[in-house]
Amino acid sequence: MLILPSNLSLPFFAYGLFKSGQLGFFRIQDFVSDICEIEIQGQLRERDGIPLFDQTPNRYGNGVNGHLIVFQEGQEERAYKRIAEIEPKKIYSWAEIGVTSNVRANVLIGKKVKRGSDLLEYTSNWDGKQDPFFSEALEEIETILATSEHSFESYKPIFRLQMAYGLLWTALERYAGLRYHFGENAMLKVGNIANEEIFSTGLRKYVDKRNRTIYRTDDPGEKYILSVDNPKKALHYYYAVRSNAIHRGKAVHRDYETLYLSLKELLAIFKDLLNDAWLVHKEVRKCF
């Protein structure tokens, strides 16, 4: 059951995922009437890449920057349900805060906020674009791709590709979690990516038109086909490549091309997904 704030008529103070231009904003953009930028008292914390609002005053004196979002009249419940669907009940609880002396807003407060979290002492503004899995990790993967050479004398090039492919899937799962759901079922979250138009476009843009097939390591009777015309099957193909690489251990040399092509294609598609996600925004003005 979705947990909603008690007063749905109040605006929403977004300091993380739901700010304009962040990964979660697409969930509520159709219901937004007005957005303004404001700073409120408190401090930012982060746990496993997820931003948390702590009402404790920041010792450096600065507050938390965010967006005060007003929803269209009559659409408030739908908007708050979209926010709640990302599963705030395990990580967040709803609270009301005073934005000014006469304006109040709903906000997601971090549950047990100091447990396993890090205080973002030197910033009052959370930005998902700075997540290392969306920046430095992808740069490292590009370096591995650029320097990879197939050798029949050593397994090291294959192992490097396996490590890079595992890192790419970690980034994909983080993206899917922040964008769709905080739940534990990784493939359930990642499966939403197949519905994104940019993913379908990327398949046609970056993948060889010839179908490719792989078989499960532990069940050769089950096969996965990479087809540019079927995004869901294509995503399962890429995930099967990941599973085979992790479970097989020492890979055979014929796996090099499969890993190399899958890594190259999926990295290019993922970069397009990220670039498109950051573009989803509405104009933000200064509050008051």
CATH of 12-127, one of 3.10.490.10, 3.90.1150.150, 3.40.50.620, 2.70.98.10: 3.10.490.10
**Crossing angle, helix 255-278 and helix 197-206, to 10 degrees?**
140
- The dihedral through the CA atoms of 205, 211, 215, 221 has a sign that is positive
pLDDT of 221 = 67
Q: What is the pLDDT of residues 159-170, one digit of tens each?
A: 899 999 999 999
Q: What is the pLDDT of residues 270-280, one digit of tens each?
A: 999 999 999 99
Bridge partners of 223?
215
* CA separation for the pair 87, 107 (Å, rounded): 14
Q: Who wins on pLDDT, 71 or 244?
A: 71
Structure token pair of residue 115: 């447990």
The domain locations on the chain are 12-127, 131-276
Q: What is the pLDDT of residues 141-199, one digit of tens each?
A: 999 999 998 776 788 888 899 999 999 999 999 999 999 988 777 778 899 999 999 99
pLDDT of 251 = 53
- Best CA proximity match to 59, nearest among 36, 78, 43: 43
DSSP assignment of the chain equals -----S-TTS-EEESSTTSTTSTTGGGTGGGEEEEEEEEESSEEEEETTEEEEE-SPPTTS--EEEEEEEEPTT-HHHHHHHHHTT-HHHHEEEEEEESSSS-EEEEEEETTTTTT-EE-TT-S---GGG-GGGTHHHHHHHHHHHH----SS-SHHHHHHHHHHHHHHHHHHHHHHHHT---S-HHHHHGGGGG-HHHHHHHHHHS-SS-EEEE-SS-TT-EEEE-TT-HHHHHHHHHHHHHHHHHH-S--TTHHHHHHHHHHHHHHHHHHHHHHHHT-----EE--
Q: What is the pLDDT of residues 98-136, one digit of tens each?
A: 988 889 999 999 999 989 999 887 678 999 999 999 999
* CA separation for the pair 230, 69 (Å, rounded): 37
Q: Is the pLDDT of residue 248 over 60?
A: no
